[in-house]
Chains A and B, each alone.
Chain A
Amino acid sequence: MMEELHVLLKNRDVIDPTSAQAYVDAGGYQGLRRALSLSPKEIIEEVRRSGLRGRGGAGFPTYRKMEFTSQAEDPVRYIVCNADEGEPGTNKDRILLSTDPCAVFEGMAIAARSVDAHVGFIYLRAEYSYLMPILEAALKSSKELGYIGKDILGSGFDFEIKFRSGAGAYVCGEETALFESIEGKRGEPRFRPPFPSIRGLFGKPTMLNNVETLANLPHILKNGAEWYRSIGTENSPGTKLFTVCGNVNRRGIFEFPMGINLKELIYDVCGGVPDGRQLLAVQTGGTSGAIINADQIDMTLDIDSVSASGGRLGCGTILVIDDSNCVVDIVLNNLDFFREESCGKCTPCREGGTQLYNLVRRISEGHGTVQDLENIESLAWTLRTTSLCGLGHSTAVPVLTSIQNFRDAYLRHIDKDFCPVCAQEGGHRK
């Protein structure tokens, strides 16, 4: 059986998360200490050599964000930690924040040093508001020990962290929507360019990273890029937190080196599908990820391999779906989520999300036609290519991949074959 490799989770349930001293005793804040002895350029070089890529979804090389932001003209810059973990099926950031918050602070401080920012924001989703006391205590403790705040460790470098919270909007996980929300506005994304590294929060150059990405930085700075590269694959070094959920025996957060096999993860690590059921489908990367069928799961989990399958590794969510479910019903559920969470700013997503839902529902209820299927594909393509932000783009992914990988299921519904799942929802009976 595959062994977990705990880098990010090494302090989980081992130390008191609210105590910076406990974190230091476990080897923490050494990455920051080293970063303070390096120039911003040297930090960025270290991160570049490590090959770290964003863990929020897109997998963008972290050093390039650092580079762009550090080269921006405006001297006032911000660091933002995206803790608006809204992707259904994902709770890795909650685990990191609740068990090892100082690692995130340390990552932010390192990032701040690399782009010469002095203020950082942690944007926490409202559904995690119960984490706030832990975070506040940990920050207070870190400040008392001089790791955050003015003149960190006597280096002359200042870095403050401020907490901001959401109020229930998935779209605020999109970086520019998150900025709008911090600025006290509706969480509607902005068009790009200009990119956040040029004009981000409050119009200033901003580097925004996911919680998990930031939590990687202390380890890279502490142990060096070569060590980091020795873990994972060539194009996706390091470990990855996977949230395995759905119809599977062992659910939870697992940390593995990048590049593990999906089938082994589901069957060997997580014990496969319970109750004698068969595997129907797997959705990787959350609701905005691809839905693949049982024959396709023998695949490598790294950023590029998953992208090649039409989806994305994204936040590392593995939703296991057994054969008591119906793919059309799952897609309908996904679309229901997207139409509720669309901010309504751009036409394709605002109107198209609901129309896609209507079209798929028509099929699930047994009123659909092959023409509807064509319209669905055409509309989903339009969302994917013309929407303003990632939410609109993502809406299309489960639709298009499920039609590709489960065309038969759609056709059975169009043929009005009985579907026990969809029938429950007021669907058809033959």
Chain B
Amino acid sequence: MIHLTIDHQPVCVEEGTTILEAARKANISIPTLCYHEDQQVKAVCRICVVEVEGMAQLPTACSTPAAEGMVVHTASPKVLKARKNILSLIFARHPQNCLACQKSGQCELQKVAQDVGIYKPATFDLELRATPDDNSSPSVRRNHQKCILCMRCVDVCEKIQGLHVMDKENRGFHSIVTTPYGKKLVDTNCVNCGQCIQACPTGALTIQDDRENIYHEMEKGKVLVVQVAPSVRVNLAEALGEAPGTVSTGRLVTALKRLGFRYVFDSDFSADLTIMEEGTELLRRLKGEGPLPMITSCCPAWVKYCETYAPDYTKHLSTAKSPQQMFGALIKTCFAEKEKVDPESICSVSIMPCTAKKFECKRPELADSGYQDVDYALTVQELARLIQTAGICFADLPDTPFDDPFGLGSGAGLIFGATGGVMEAALRTVHTVVTGRPMEKLEYLPVRGFEGIKSAEVDLDGTVVKVAVAHGLKNAKLLLDEIKAGKSEYHFIEIMACPGGCIGGGGNAPRTWKKVEARKKAIYEAEKELPVRQSHENPAIKWIYDNYLGEPNSHLAHKLLHTTYRNRQDLLR
């Protein structure tokens, strides 16, 4: 153990602890910008400098290990003077219109400015970068002027997702973080996962905001039908300031109703539908109809990744649409017929933890209802802002159940929100279909948790099915490489682009692993409480096959619930 003094307090920490961590242990918060608790230390913003007695320089707290006998001052006049100067330098390159910024109120730079106290901003010449904004992507907006070059987005894109869409261009004062050769994001290998937005401390990277479009549709008198993704119920309250992992299913429905959504449905239902279709497809492939391993296709970022990096292997993707798109196709067909609503007058909205869903719902082939199946995908963050704008006191809302007929989902559908969830849900149903009895214990632990790649073997009365689960595209690449090399031993693989799965998605409140852990816990807890925990037992699922679709993989099911993939290799050429 190491003993040091921070701001006159004795602190005792383990060897290898940084000054920043040691200070936090002593309840001293040192301001940071480039520091992110899930990422490698960068020590580039220099805002966390502290004074260490005996050192001529002011070292950065984030990168300097605590040493025996160290005497640290985290807020001495010297430190404050340096911090103010550094902050003034950042502000001299940053637009001064915080009120009009999407990140306002959530911006880490704003927070640091308040904490450090900048009251003399005009010391230096204001010089904004001339690089134009990039709004080409359906998911991510880029504003170079607001970038403070903390490199957090580059870190996650390169090291976690293995994509490296952006990095620094030029050097010195002219450095910017951007795509190669001035490309628009839409022309790059970006898969729209939004993890860069999660990492960005300022308004430089933000969600492509569709809120205005919703108001427009309302004005036009459209019938607003909304579906809510499984993970949203454990993420929304957090985005509105409550503790991570707060489940708010009932309040969420109430809020959506008050916002003017006529029908509020649960994507857990279409997740169950996905299990029925995908599970049936898996069983057919296991019998030799189609290549193995079969890989899940729920995650639009993963699908785009596969289309870009391995277009010859998209045949391994399940042809089943994602739950969002299955639902979309049914709303403008089955639901419209049943409720006698003109599909033309329906505005189909989804609430998603995901920015890539915005890309997915715009895919031209996803219009099997005769209309664009889903009109807008709103992220958790956008819904939170809609709720704020409408003045709805979310914390005090009463509960409301989802609407019929698509308001009923099983626990299997709910756990889609966490990595391994689709696999676990599929195994529950496949087990019953093959063996005629449910799994002894429904909780299938080998596919749960945050290990990068999880694998297991499931014995279905003699038929051994080998499965693997990956989250984060760098892990996905490893499994994909095995398939490319013809060495994959798996039958069924689940892949989610975002680390942790949808609960760690790019459309949520800014993530840390601690928060995602809390969300995961919440989703599994909530699942245990549900009366129906297997997809094929969901009465709504039975109803839709009996009354509309016929049976899984039927002709109509194929028309509405399955899709095709394309080759996007050009994005790499």
Contact = CB atoms under 8 A, between A and B. Distances in A.
B85 A378 contact: yes
* Interface residues of A, dominant DSSP: helix
A312 interface: no
Prevailing SS type, chain B contact patch: loop
Interface stretch (B171-179, B255-263, B529-537): B171-179
B173 A388 contact: no
Interface residues of B, number: 37
Contacts of A348: 46, 85-86, 89
B63 interface: yes
A359 B89 CA distance: 13
B334 interface: no
Interface string A337-356: 00111111111101111110
B46 A343 contact: no
B123 interface: yes
Contacts of B90: 347, 351
A169 interface: yes
B125 A355 contact: yes
B65 A352 contact: no
A169 B172 CA distance: 11
B112 to A, nearest CB: 12
A227 to B, nearest CB: 35
A351 B92 CA distance: 8
Contacts, number: 99
Given A169-B171, A355-B89, A355-B125, A386 B49 contact: yes
A429 interface: no
Contacts of A353: 172-173
A296 interface: no
A378 B174 CA distance: 23
Contacts of A355: 89, 92, 124-125
A347 B148 CA distance: 8
A341 B149 CA distance: 17
B41 interface: yes
Interface string B112-135: 000000000001110100000000
Given A355-B124, A375-B123, A386 B46 contact: yes
Contacts of B78: 385
Interface residues of A, number: 33
Contact of A344 (B49, B57, B124, B168): B168
Given A350-B173, A353-B173, A344 B86 contact: no
Given A191-B43, A351-B92, 8 more contacts: A191-B41, A193-B65, A343-B172, A344-B175, A347-B46, A350-B149, A351-B90, A351-B124
21 contacts: A186-B171, A191-B63, A193-B65, A340-B172, A341-B172, A344-B172, A344-B174, A347-B46, A347-B86, A347-B90, A348-B86, A350-B149, A350-B173, A353-B172, A353-B173, A358-B124, A378-B81, A379-B123, A386-B60, A388-B44, A393-B57
Interface of B: 41-47, 49, 56-58, 60, 63-65, 78, 81-82, 85-86, 89-90, 92-93, 123-125, 127, 148-149, 168, 170-175
**9 A-B pairs with the lowest CB-CB distances in the bound complex, closest first:** A344-B175, A351-B89, A342-B172, A191-B43, A382-B85, A354-B173, A344-B172, A355-B124, A191-B63
